[in-house]
Amino acid sequence: MADEILEKVHELSDVELAALICLVTQEHCIVDTEPYAIDDTLQELELIAAKVFGLSHAVIDCSEHTSLDDFAHAILSVDGSPGRSASPVRTRQDSYFLQSQAFQPITRSPQAESFAENKTIANIIIAKNLDEAPKQVQIQALELLRTKRIYVRSSVHHAPKRFLFIALLAGGEGPRLTKHLNEHMFISHFHDPDDGFPNIEEAYGDGDSISSVVRKSPRIHTEASLMPRISAEDIEQLSGLSDLCTVTIEVKQYQQNIIAFLRLHRAVAGGISPVATKHFDKLMQCLAPLHGLTYIYLHRIYIVKSEQERSMQWGSDVDAIAALLDGVGPDEVIEDVLGSSGAEVPL
């Protein structure tokens, strides 16, 4: 790998690195954060799309009232432009569906239909609070990820070659999306607000408050999108290096041990799926050129209910099991499996 590409990669923030990994592997991800920081994280992701990768993006703010039409029209970007507005950063008072006639389920004029047909799916789609959307909307999101196309009334829109879907969630632990959509997500990453928002800080200046309620949207100069920090050529080169990665039998054995021990862990419900195993293998190959950078898949781990824990089959006391599992989450399971000196049997 060219030293300049490696240097650029090592300068990325945690969220930027998560996005890069997914772009290299052509997969999708979940970004989790604290509820009070979800709007800052959203704006950071928008700036990352425009400034770091120079890609168009679209945002959909999901709720229990989001309809299929709302979702379909919100993910489109006009003529492949860098964003859905002049600036990729919006104020907190924006409403994508409730206040905008463009997303109301009303009869559209022929001009509106023609306008929709001239739009394309954005390179990066950020679905805020996707876990709050109705099940049918999440199923439509799954179909988009699987087929890379979406139907909008009389037209079909295809996703671009460089396509990333980010589910931005907050305030929870473990799987929160529908089962099959959750299974299709490549990695999940929790962004601690204490780690900062470097692109927002750069856009507003160090003197401005990151937690302000309403901001004046800064404009991203065209040059910022035309000269991204990570170019399409950089991503292609990293993807090629990942494909050329050769895994030794010792590393493969260690990987399979981790998966086996996760499946056998008494706090894990339903085991670890074959799709998750394939994603783990793909992630390992992607990280090989970026040695020392680790991402995991906490969204894959379902914590078992005390009354369904396997030792209950042999007469264990449910109160004792509940006490044993108290406070155990995906992080604790991962730590228990890996241990302080590598994978250990967690039984």
In this predicted structure, what is the pLDDT of residue 253? 85
pLDDT of residue 298: 63
**Residue 80 confidence class, pLDDT cut points 50, 70, 90:** very low
Q: In this structure, are residues 29 and 189 in contact, taking their beta carbons and an 8 Å threshold?
A: yes
Burial class for 132, CB neighbours closer than 10 Å (0-12, 13-18, 19+):
middle
pLDDT digits (tens, 9 = 90+) for 330-347: 888 888 877 644 554 433
- The pLDDT tens digits for 211-268 are 444 454 445 555 555 689 999 999 998 888 888 887 778 878 888 888 888 888 888 8
Q: With cut-offs at 50, 70 and 90, classify the pLDDT of residue 26.
A: very high
What is the CA 276 to chain-centroid distance, rounded?
Answer: 15
Over residues 13-22, the mean pLDDT reads 94
Classify residue 183 by burial, with Cβ atoms within 10 Å: 0-12, 13-18, 19+. middle
What CA–CA distance (Å, rounded) separates 73 from 112? 11
Backbone angles phi, psi at 87, to 5 degrees: -125, 140
- Top pLDDT among 219 and 322 is at 322
Least confident of 62-76, 84-98, 122-136, 143-157: 84-98
pLDDT at 327: 85
- Arithmetic mean of pLDDT over the chain: 79
Reported confidence tier of residue 2, pLDDT bands at 50, 70, 90: low
Max avg pLDDT among 4-18, 26-40, 80-94, 272-286: 26-40
Nearest-angstrom CA–CA distance, 322 and 300: 22
Residue 165: pLDDT above 90? yes
**pTM value?**
0.75
